[in-house]
Chains A and B, each alone.
Chain A
Amino acid sequence: MGIPEKQDHFRTANKSRISTLVRNILPAKKADEIGKKTILAVPYLWLSVFFLVPFFIIFQISFTEAIIARPPYTSLVEIEEGLIQIRLVTESYLMLFEDDIYWKSYLNSAWIAATSTLICFLIGYPMAYGIARAPAHTRRRLLLFIILPFWTAFILRVYAWVGILNNNGILNNILQWLGLTDTPIQFLYTDFAIYIGIVYTYLPFMILPIYTTLEKMDLSLMEASSDLGGRPVTTFMRITLPLSVPGIIAGSMLVFIPALGEFVIPALLGGDDSLMIGRVLFDEFFLNRDWPMASTVAVAMLIFLVAPIVLFNHFQSKEMEAK
């Protein structure tokens, strides 16, 4: 039924019909093109406005001076007698070097972040290794229990340690019960508590990338090594460890970068004298209301972090292309 009808249809088709067809297709193509561009343009625009532009603003405000006004900083560009004048104030940058609180907290943060990253690696690597070499069905469950804490509120997990490390907290109670100490040991509000908090929070971020590289690894390489008489330690040091370097780097960056700028953990677990740059920035902004100084601290932190962030991006995009 349908076919003769269709033939009939085609026979009656004339030039004008074809041209309307073409006319209908062309705008459709154009619409497709617009649709395709929109898919890219919307997120591009969003990120440009809300991620890229803010950095230029931070940079600009770091060269102004704090005043009591709304907003509390001088403007960079002034129009005086019809001339546009740019007033760069480098006072905040000089302060960065003159007042030792800033560089001391940079060094201290870098030290704490690096040490925590190392501890995460030492605990996380064997765990990732164990999970990757477990039988498939257990592997899934083990992995789930690594990810699970990540979904529970971060601040509540930090809070859990307040209860443990307190002067009359569980840890001190156990130590006193064991007779190891008579008077409570000050754990809370020390750097020790900051280390615990950072390692506890960021450990899963170390384990997951390492697990991914270990799981993808070709096991026959290790078999070959042991067939050739390589001892397990040699096989591990010369094959497994070098092959998992991309995972180690990605995991280390995922721990180091946020740990360096961490605010919540030092604010809740650290002492008043614990200097971490994220906290200094926070106080500079909220307590001293010195926006230019806070911006300068942020710019300096960014310069500090450019190398790790680029390194992470590099490995991340390589990972994506490998897929």
Chain B
Amino acid sequence: MAKRSSTFVLSAMCFGYAFLYIPIFLLIAYSFNDSKLATVWGGFSTRWYVELFQNEQIMAAAWLSLKIAFLTATFAVILGTMAGIAIIRYGRFKGRMLFTGMITAPMVMPEVITGLSLLLLFVSMESLLGWPAERGTTTIIIAHVTFAMAYVTVVVQSRLASIDQSIEEAAMDLGCRPLRILYDITLPMILPAIISGWLLAFTLSLDDLVIATFVTGPGASTLPMVIFSKIKLGISPDINALATIVIFLVFTGVLASSWINRKTSN
């Protein structure tokens, strides 16, 4: 490769990574700023962290969001793994086109459409079946599972496609029952994909603002909804503190898991 093009690529990469990370670093830096004005440096302070943990509204919303994300991830992993197995191992079946379409479409569907359509479904179900009588945590979980399971399916699917199917075939030839094969061979082999699918679904659920805003009812405000209404009013330094905590948790989590991955693969 010519030297000129590699300097171009190198500078593009420097610019790109700086673009991605400078806002994050600024967010962290200003969370320790004593001044209420975001741009004036008033000295090092941890007062916004204290204020954050004293803010009952944020704490309640964070707890609700974590609960929703946990249940969403668990259900999404179950449904997504089933869907992934069906797509990869079942060959051609009736309605396969529709099925794979329903798996990939939620990933690219604009959130406002997913949110509106699910809300209208819940409203229609309420008038026809009497359920769900009121919207809130349950309806948010159903909505989140629906779009998160698509991501789990894709992760599980690509892992399933890459593992050696002959082990499953050997077990089948030796008279092993399909359910046993599933529990003793297939699931342990795709476990890494199931774990990353769970984490992905957890993050997606924790991140979602638009869909939750549509399908929620009175009393159930998730963390992104509370943050959104606070940001709408302008800069609030306790959100910086919250962001720093989130960034710290995510970075340690992701870096640790990639480190473990490398150790185990070596």
Contact = CB atoms under 8 A, between A and B. Distances in A.
B246 A152 contact: yes
A281 interface: yes
A180 interface: no
Contact of A57 (B17, B120, B143): B120
A203 B17 CA distance: 11
Nearest to A123: B16
A32 B177 contact: yes
Interface string A33-51: 0011001101110111111
Contact of A309 (B108, B111, B124, B231): B108
Nearest to A254: B108
A282 B12 CA distance: 37
Contacts of B9: 126, 129-130, 133
A118 interface: no
Say whether chain A's binding surface is mostly helix, strand, loop, or mixed. Answer: helix
Contacts of B234: 162
A38 to B, nearest CB: 8
B112 A323 contact: no
Nearest to A148: B254
Nearest to B1: A232
B39 interface: yes
A261 interface: yes
A294 to B, nearest CB: 6
A301 B113 contact: yes
Contact of A35 (B5, B178, B246): B178
A170 interface: yes
Nearest to B127: A71
A79 to B, nearest CB: 15
Nearest to A48: B102
A239 to B, nearest CB: 13
B69 to A, nearest CB: 11
Contact of B23 (A32, A161, A286): A161
B52 interface: no
A4 to B, nearest CB: 23
A159 B39 CA distance: 14
Given A166-B39, A298-B116, A155 B23 contact: no
A47 B110 contact: no
Interface string B103-144: 111101111110011101101100100000000000000110
Contact of A127 (B12, B21, B99): B12
Contacts of A236: 5
Contact of B15 (A123, A149, A169): A123
Interface string A160-176: 11111010111001000
A130 B12 contact: yes
B4 to A, nearest CB: 8
Given A163-B30, A232-B1, A43 B20 contact: no
A51 B243 contact: no
Interface string B2-17: 1001001110110111
Interface in B78-115: 79-80, 82-83, 85-86, 90, 93, 95, 99-106, 108-113
A196 to B, nearest CB: 9
Contacts of B80: 43
A313 B239 contact: no
Interface in B230-257: 231-232, 234-235, 239-240, 242-243, 246-247, 250-251, 253-255
B260 interface: no
A268 B232 contact: yes
A294 B149 contact: no
A263 B210 contact: yes
Given A130-B10, A261-B110, A268-B232, A28 B177 contact: yes
B224 A153 contact: yes
Interface in A264-323: 264, 267-268, 278, 281-282, 285-286, 291, 294-295, 298, 301-302, 305, 308-309, 312-313, 316-317, 320, 323
Contacts of A155: 207, 209, 224, 227-228, 231
Q: Which 4 residue pairs of A and B lie closest in terms of their CB atoms, listed nearest first?
A: A261-B110, A54-B117, A126-B12, A160-B23
27 contacts: A42-B82, A46-B145, A50-B145, A57-B120, A71-B123, A123-B15, A126-B9, A127-B17, A129-B9, A133-B9, A144-B254, A145-B17, A149-B21, A149-B24, A156-B27, A156-B246, A157-B23, A161-B23, A166-B38, A168-B39, A170-B39, A200-B23, A263-B111, A264-B228, A267-B232, A298-B116, A320-B158
Interface of B: 1-2, 5, 8-10, 12-13, 15-17, 19-21, 23-24, 26-27, 30, 37-39, 79-80, 82-83, 85-86, 90, 93, 95, 99-106, 108-113, 116-118, 120-121, 123-124, 127, 142-143, 145-146, 149, 153, 157-158, 161-162, 177-179, 203, 206-207, 209-210, 213-214, 224, 227-228, 231-232, 234-235, 239-240, 242-243, 246-247, 250-251, 253-255, 258, 262
